[in-house]
Amino acid sequence: MKRGGTLSKFGIAGLQLDLQYADNRDRLEREIDSACRRFPWLNMVIIGELAMYGPNTINAQALPSDTEKRMCAAAQRNNIWLLPGTMFEKHDGKVFNTAPVINPSGEVIARYRKMYPFLPYESEVTAGSEFVTFDIPDVGRFGVSICYDMWFPETIRTLAWMGAEVILHPSMTNTIDRDAELAIARANAATNQCYFIDINVTGDLGLGRSAIYGPGGEVIHVAGSGREIIAVELDLETVRSARQRGWLGLTQPLKSFRDSKIEFPQYPLPSRSSTYFDSLGPLTMPPSFTRKGRK
């Protein structure tokens, strides 16, 4: 993979769309086509989590599917890389929350399955187990993460360890913890010295506030709560400089982590369960504070 040069510049648009608990495919295609007409310099479009049909596992389908083919056609006719949000995938009797990665030729080159479903709420969804990075020729390496995944810093650190310079992160958040998510997204950008592209949905499915952060944790853009087309130009040389020289000549956390001889005993599987962790109780739906159950 060639690095450096003017091709380190990369145009990307996050589409923060007001979507429905319904078949949104026609809307997605119109929005993709419209963004590419308005910003002909775009190289990639990314949309929020579960954008295709909303958060109902009844719409799970085996991949490849007609839905995926429609997104492939949209990528091909616009000559862009496309991460069209996620959809529920049915595979071997299980349901995964899956994000396809589509190249400008309309080919699915990777599928990422969300590693951390939002338990106990996403109880019908099976966790994925494979990290996904992919190379865009003459530009750089990109990694994929989905919504709740970023609450587990090991996931983003692993993508950085695999060489990802840009993290593509579709989300679907409609709850009051969005402030915390924005703090986490920004911290992930700074501690892993990468671009972090967190694109939420809005309307019936989410409350927006998508965000893009740079490799020093700098705020490139934070959206409002309505429909918004967030078109920006990334410069991956900024990532490489931060990782090699330190952000503003200062922090070099990836090198320090690499060179450290410290062992972290909480990470081996036998040590995941500790006296304190066990005292937290089982992972279940939180009960009411004032009554034992609902009538």
Q: Residue 288 pLDDT > 50, yes or no?
A: yes
Q: How far apart are CA 160 and CA 254, in angstroms?
A: 8
In a domain, 287, yes or no: no
pLDDT band at 6 (very low <50, low <70, confident <90, very high): very low
Number of helices followed by number of strands (H, E) in the chain:
7, 15
Note whether residue 284 is domain-resident.
Answer: no
CB 35 within 8 A of CB 69: no
141-156 pLDDT, tens digit per residue, is 999 999 999 999 999 9
pTM of the complete model: 0.93
**Domain annotation covers residue 294:** no
* Domain assignment present for 290: no
Question: Count of domains in the chain?
Answer: 1
Q: Is residue 288 part of a domain?
A: no
- Tell whether 289 is covered by a domain: no
- Residue 48 sits in a domain of what CATH number? 3.60.110.10
Alpha-carbon Rg for the chain in angstroms: 19
**Residue 156 and residue 150 in contact, taking contact as beta carbons nearer than 8 Å:** yes
Amino acid identity of residue 128, one-letter, is G
Residue 64 lies in a domain: yes
pLDDT digits (tens, 9 = 90+) for 261-284: 888 888 777 777 778 778 878 888
Note down the domain range covering 50.
7-279
Report if residue 1 sits inside a domain.
no
pLDDT of residue 277: 75
217-245 in b/e form (b: 16+ CB < 10 A) is beebebbeeebbbbbbebebbbbbbbbee
In eight-state DSSP terms, residue 61 is B
